[in-house]
Copies of this chain bind each other. A is one copy, B any other.
Amino acid sequence: MKVSVGISARHIHLDEETYKILCGDKKIVNVKNINQPGMFVTDDYFTIEGDKGSISNVRLIGPLRSYNQVEISLTDAYKLGVNPPVRTSGDLEGSAPIKITGPCGSVYLPYGCIIADRHIHLTKEMQKFYHLEGKDKVNVLVNTLKGGVMFNVDLKISDEAYFEMHIDLDDANAFMLKQGDIVDIIE
């Protein structure tokens, strides 16, 4: 069955305490909703830093969460000199350390940097509707000039969801996919 593609550029999630250290008294602003219900891009940008380098203008995705998380691609990881595991959002134990700097301060996270796994957002109802009950991973067929199959695409079930496959920029560019392109869940 078909699913549309959402491309996740590198981004950050923060908890309230860390946001305060980095941004002071500023309030978080919803600049634009993204497809997943309740989530939005903000006007807060940070610099992330590893042993070998830094990357600036990394955007905060709102709302604030109960944890800090930096999602990057492997290309970013090489540039920064960090060694993040491939993980589901929120599964941060033993993930890579990283430094974040904002307009009002810096934090060194002892863990929190990951390469987000390829995943599809859906509800339990969608899982049933699309005959994906009992599955937690699927394979996805990509029909582009540099097409192929992506293995291990995680089914990420939540109460509210926009049916969409999220991939990082490395996958997007390798497979020549753009935001909103359509791919096929094959099993």
Contact = CB atoms under 8 A, between A and B. Distances in A.
Interface of A: 73-75, 78, 86, 115, 117-118, 139, 145-152, 168-171, 173-176
Nearest to A149: B149
Identical chains bound together, number: 2
A73 B152 contact: no
20 contacts: A74-B173, A74-B176, A75-B169, A86-B145, A86-B146, A115-B146, A117-B146, A118-B146, A139-B148, A146-B151, A146-B171, A147-B151, A147-B152, A148-B148, A148-B149, A148-B151, A149-B149, A149-B151, A170-B173, A173-B174
A120 to B, nearest CB: 15
Contacts of A115: 146
Contacts of A176: 74, 86
A170 B75 CA distance: 8
B173 A75 contact: yes
Given A74-B173, A86-B146, A118-B146, 5 more contacts: A145-B152, A146-B150, A146-B152, A147-B151, A148-B148
Contacts of A78: 173
A168 B174 CA distance: 8
A56 to B, nearest CB: 16
Contacts of A171: 146, 174
Contacts of A73: 173
Nearest to A176: B74
A79 to B, nearest CB: 11
Contacts of A173: 73-75, 78, 170, 174
Contacts of A151: 146-149
